[in-house]
Structure 1
Amino acid sequence: MLEAGINLVYIRDFLGYTSTTTEIYARASEKLKEQALEKLTSGIIQKSKTTW
């Protein structure tokens, strides 16, 4: 559900948890992490080889 873009709060409610248990066990895939970093660093990091 997380990879489908469903907010973690809704997943927690769907599972019936009332605490932060869902956040403790939720794991983002590498693809989701890359997408999040691309949104944050758009234009900051260049995708080219370094000269050093």
Structure 2
Amino acid sequence: MRSRPMGGAAVIGLLFNFAFYGMVFTASLEFSNSAVTAPSAPVPRCSRRRR
């Protein structure tokens, strides 16, 4: 870059983009993993009260 402030802004923008898309990628992995391990229907709870 010809201008020092523009070079710094470009580096900061690159870091922000890398962090944002990294979070999107890891969240998509987490959601796909939880969709596989989650039960398809909620487990029914016992209706009797414990004394």
Give me the TM-score of the superposition, normalised by structure 1.
0.27
- Would you tell me which structure has more helix in proportion to its own residues? 2
**Based on CA coordinates, which of the two structures has the bigger radius of gyration?**
2
Give me the TM-score of the superposition, normalised by structure 2.
0.28
